Structure 1
Amino acid sequence: MYGKKVWIFADAELPPVGENPIPGHESVIIVNLSDCPATINITLLYTDRNPAQGLVATVGAKRVRCLRTNDEKDFPGHTATIGEQYAILLESDVPVVAQYGRAEPRTVSFYTTPGYCE
């Protein structure tokens, strides 16, 4: 089976939208290669306030899902704040593959990172 059950992305920060062809945004992309849906528990860790916990997402069997951190439908009850530094902890009930991506309008760049996994 491919993937891991725990993923950590230490460098998250929602950039401003900007005026570039690709607007500033960030997301977590999760691939579930198993034969059953994955339930993902999400915790957001901040530098100067308590963690945001209790965020749950589902990724269907043999599916991919992109979670936009500034979209209420992807992060129910919580969305990222522009410019705030935080980290993302994903805990899944089945092994998944996860990646973090950020479109950065201040430098007109897009990058992704696989994060740390257990």
Structure 2
Amino acid sequence: MTGEKKGETHWIIPDGFIPPESSGTQTSHESICVLNLQEKTANVNVSAYFEDREPLKDIHVQVHRERTSHIRTVSLEKDGQKIPEGVPYAIEVESDVPVVVQYSRLDSTQPELALMSTMAYPLNI
């Protein structure tokens, strides 16, 4: 459908937590899935906010036109700093074009692993 808005430019994920341990063959992890339905590349900035330390801001990621990118939060890095494991945090995702953002966590700290996925909260609807 032409003229239809496909996504938002500002998203929030208030509950982030990279599990510090894994059991079995599955590694505990989190991912931000960014879907770009636009006809141009999305320049995305990811920021992480913590309870007890300064934020890690403006980690740049590109998502090419009409593509998706599954970004493991453990891989996000800025000036040698990463989001630490075992520390609660929140995520802000900002894009120069509308995108759709989903968040997933695989917790394999126990043999009965848990998978959680949810849509991020769009701020400019």
**Which runs of 5 or more residues in structure 2 are unaligned?**
none
Other-structure match for 2:117: 112
Does the 8 Å contact 1:17/1:25 carry over to 2? no
Would you say 1:75 and 2:77 are equivalent positions? yes
Return the letter of the residue paired with 1:37.
T
Q: CA deviation at 1:106?
A: 2.7
Q: Does residue 1:61 correspond to 2:65, yes or no?
A: yes
Task: Give the TM-score of the pair, scaled to structure 1.
Answer: 0.90
User: Which residue of structure 2 lines up, in the alignment, with residue 99 of structure 1?
Assistant: 102
Larger Cα-atom Rg: 2
Task: Report the TM-score, using the length of structure 2 for normalisation.
Answer: 0.86
**Preserved CA contact (<8 Å) 2:19 2:85:** yes
Distance 1:56 1:62 in 2: 18
Distance change in 2, residues 1:66/1:78 (3 Å): farther
The count of residues paired between Structure 1 and Structure 2 equals 116
What's the CA shift for 1:23?
Answer: 1.5
- Unpaired segments of 5 or more residues in structure 1? none
CA contact (8 A) 1:16 1:105 kept: no
Identity among equivalent pairs (%): 32
